[in-house]
Amino acid sequence: MEFNAATIAGFLKGEIEGNPEIKVNTVAKIEEGHAGSLSFLANPKYEHYLYSTKSSIVLVNRDFVPAYKVEATLIRVENAYNAFASLLRMVDQARPRKKGIHPSAIIEQSAVIGKDVYIGPFAYIGENCRIGDGCSVYPQVYIGDSTIIGNKSTLYPGVKIYHECMIGENCVIHAGTVIGSDGFGFAPQSESEFMKIPQIGNVVIEDNVEIGANVAIDRATMGSTIIRKGVKLDNLIQIGHNVEIGENTVMAGQTGIAGSTKVGKNCMFAGQVGIAGHLKIADGVKIGAQAGIPGDIRKENAAVIGYPAIDLREFLKSSVIFRKLPDLQAKVYELEKQVKQLKDK
């Protein structure tokens, strides 16, 4: 597809500086721009690329003031990053969508399949399942008995959803993710033996959730493990049984949340965060990378980092001391030596 600057500016409600008729047919990073491509500038540390980029069009913030002459046509918008994301979304939605049911797919007779769906090769849909209108079920997806998939949801290749789970509308679940596997529940019987506790609950995922590749979300022991609407999970995340993740919370890769923890809405977790079980995390909490959370965080909008996690500002102050520990140790040894010499006298 090809668009000129005037069309793009109209879509984004932006202002053009340069040639309104110049055309682009692809997107590129500003440092890798070439003729016919569109880029954006949002982070000031990339500004120097603006003056050498070969991109034909660059999106910039409305209040941006260039330091030097810019060869590319500029489109000024309120937020260049968000505007670029909107364009990518438009391009993605314009791609032709697969439709139809492949003859090698296995669909049990009691399953109900909606309109305008795609079900790929070797997918399996169990008894009493309901697949909503406009869904895409890619090859080798497994959907267990009595599972419900809402309208316009997409399950990419190799997704496995166990029995009696519920997926909302407009959800995206990427390849290799497992939803509804047993929670880690074992009761010790002796020093060398454990009895498995049956996990008879399910997983409920509300609308507009996106889940990355190779995520594991365990079913509840009783009741439901719940992922609220708008949640975004990165790749390689583990969600334990009976966990609840609040609306619009986002988590980066390799985060792990132990069973029965309740996470509030609008939280942000960086990569490799670990959260112990049976905790409560307040709304709006931000947790830095590799932080360990052994106890509740009840203060809304708190920012913490470290293990055990402490307030971000306190951590930054402490990090200054961490770097000086070798010098401080040397000074303590020297003081001890001097004290000993004084005592000997």
CA angle 227, 231, 234 (to 5 degrees): 105
- The 10s digit of each residue's pLDDT in 173-213 is 999 999 999 999 999 988 889 999 999 999 999 999 999 99
**pLDDT tops 90 at residue 168:** yes
> What CATH number is given for 100-311 in this structure?
2.160.10.10
Percent of the chain topping pLDDT 90: 83
Catalytic residues, which ones?
A: 241
Confidence band of 97 (pLDDT split at 50, 70, 90): confident
d(CA 32, CA 277): 45
Confidence of residue 315 (pLDDT cuts 50, 70, 90): confident
Task: Tell me how far apart the 2 most distant CA atoms of the chain are, in Å.
Answer: 96
What per-residue confidence (pLDDT) applies to 112?
98
Whether the per-residue pLDDT at 122 is higher than 90: the answer is yes
Q: In what order do the strands lie in the sheet with 148-149?
A: 112-113, 130-131, 148-149, 166-167, 202-205, 224-227, 244-245, 262-263, 280-281
Highest CATH level, class, for 3-94? alpha beta
Q: What is the pLDDT of residue 73?
A: 97
Question: What is the pLDDT at residue 214?
Answer: 98
| Pick from 228, 188, 192: nearest CA to 211 | 228
Query: Looking at residue 340, what is its pLDDT?
Result: 86
Tell me what pLDDT residue 323 has.
84
Q: Is the pLDDT of residue 311 over 90?
A: no
Mean pLDDT in residue range 235-262: 98
Output the average pLDDT for the chain: 94
Q: What is the mean pLDDT of residues 128-154?
A: 98
Distance in angstroms (rounded) separating the CA atoms of residues 152 and 174: 14
For residue 149, what is the enclosing H or E element?
strand 148-149
C-alpha distances (whole Å) from 256 to each of 26, 28, 142, 289 are: 37, 34, 24, 12
* Mean pLDDT on 303-319: 84
According to the model, what pLDDT value does residue 31 have? 96
- Give me the pLDDT at residue 344, please: 82
* Range 217-241 average pLDDT: 98
Q: Which helix (H) or strand (E) element contains residue 341?
A: helix 312-344
